[in-house]
Amino acid sequence: MSNHAKAWVLARVLKALAFSNQLSKAMQNNDFYKALVDVHKENDVTSIGELIVQLVFSRYARKESNELSVPRTLKSHYFQNEYNTRLSTEAATKYFYAKSDEQEKTLSLLQIFSQKTGTSWVLNVINN
């Protein structure tokens, strides 16, 4: 499989796990965790799938892998059918890199936005 395809497959699984509050449990599996790290390292952020992988990487693996770079953004803004997912995912990723006062504001706005847009699974990534 291409790196891009791996990211999409993994992103769908990550999103489902987050939606069902099982992501934290899945991250305890060493093979699954390693797959997340490997897919994140192999991909540039060119799709929503890679953006979701980056979000979960930021939550669970960034500190352990000594990742010092800022989160990557999508190279294209042409994701009209995934616009709400993109905004929620980028805001949730921002949360992990922000200072505590900025985290509070980001989380407050994200809670409102994600509930209205059906992207509340990103809150489960943050809170679990």
Q: What is the DSSP letter of 118?
A: T
CB 110 within 8 A of CB 88: yes
Task: State how far the Cα of 72 lies from the Cα of 60, in Å rounded to an integer.
Answer: 16
Q: What is the pLDDT along the chain (128 residues), one digit of tens a residue?
A: 888 899 999 999 999 999 999 999 999 999 999 999 999 988 788 889 999 999 999 999 876 766 656 677 776 665 556 888 989 999 999 999 999 899 999 999 999 999 999 999 999 999 98
Token pair in block for residue 40: 């994140």
Backbone angles phi and psi of 21, in degrees to 5: 60, 35
The amino acid present at 11, given as its one-letter code, is A
Rounded Cα–Cα distance for residues 1 and 91 (Å): 29
pTM of this prediction? 0.83
Distance CA 115, CA 122 (A): 10
The domain limits of the chain are: 3-127
DSSP summary character for residue 81: G
